[in-house]
A and B are shown apart, each in its own frame.
Chain A
Amino acid sequence: MNKIKGFISKIETSGNISIVEIDVDHEKLFSIIIGDREDFLKLGKEVFVIFKETEVSIAKNFSGEISLKNQFKCKISDINMGKLLTQVTLTWNNNTIKSIITTSSAKRLDLKIEDQVTAFVKTNEISIMEI
Chain B
Amino acid sequence: MIEIKVKKELSSVKETFKLDVDITIKNREFITIFGKSGVGKTSLLKIIAGLIQVDYGFIKINDQIWLDTEKNINLPPQKRKIGFVFQDFALFPNMTVEQNIAFAMAKKDKNFLKKVLEVTEIENIKHKKPDTLSGGQKQKVALARAIARKPTLLLLDEPFSSLDLETRQKLQEELKKIHDEFNLTTILVSHDFSEIFRLSDRVFLLEKGKIKKHGKPEDIFIQEKLSGKVKLTGQILNIEKEDIMYIITVLIGNNVIKIVAVEEEIKELNIGDNVIIATKGFNPFVLRTM
Query: Which positions in A face B, CB cutoff 8 Å?
Result: 1, 20, 31-35, 37-38, 40-41, 50, 52-54, 80-87, 98, 100, 124-125, 127-130
Contact = CB atoms under 8 A, between A and B. Distances in A.
Contacts of A34: 229, 280-282
Interface in B207-226: 224-226
A84 B247 CA distance: 14
Contacts of A52: 260
Contacts of B265: 1
A80 to B, nearest CB: 5
Interface of B: 224-229, 243-245, 260-262, 264-265, 278, 280-283
B227 A84 contact: no
Contact of B226 (A83, A84, A127): A127
Contacts, number: 62
B186 to A, nearest CB: 30
Given A41-B227, A82-B245, 18 more contacts: A1-B261, A1-B265, A33-B227, A34-B282, A35-B281, A40-B225, A50-B226, A83-B243, A85-B245, A87-B244, A100-B245, A124-B280, A125-B282, A127-B226, A127-B228, A129-B226, A129-B227, A130-B225
14 contacts: A1-B264, A34-B281, A34-B282, A35-B281, A52-B260, A80-B244, A82-B244, A84-B243, A85-B244, A87-B245, A100-B262, A125-B282, A127-B278, A128-B226
B228 A82 contact: no
Given A54-B260, A124-B282, A125-B280, A31 B245 contact: no
A127 B243 contact: no
A78 B75 CA distance: 71
B262 A127 contact: no
A14 to B, nearest CB: 16
Given A82-B243, A85-B243, A124-B282, A53 B227 contact: no
Grouping DSSP codes into helix (H, G, I), strand (E, B) and loop, the B interface class, with mixed when no group exceeds half, is loop
A35 B229 contact: yes
Contacts of B262: 1, 53, 87, 98, 100
A13 to B, nearest CB: 13
Nearest to B259: A52
A128 B278 CA distance: 12
A103 to B, nearest CB: 9
A82 B283 CA distance: 26
A84 B242 CA distance: 10
9 closest pairs, A vs B, by CB? A82-B244, A130-B225, A82-B243, A124-B282, A128-B227, A34-B281, A127-B228, A85-B243, A129-B226
A100 B227 CA distance: 23
Given A35-B229, A40-B225, A127 B244 contact: no
Contacts of B278: 127
Contacts of A32: 282
A86 B244 contact: yes
Contacts of A20: 227
Given A87-B262, A100-B262, A130 B280 contact: no
Nearest to A100: B245
A84 B244 CA distance: 9
A20 B227 CA distance: 11
Contacts of A98: 262
Nearest to B265: A1
Nearest to B245: A85
B244 A31 contact: no
A35 to B, nearest CB: 5
Nearest to A124: B282
A117 to B, nearest CB: 18
Nearest to B227: A128
A51 B181 CA distance: 44
B265 to A, nearest CB: 6
Nearest to A40: B225
Contacts of B228: 127
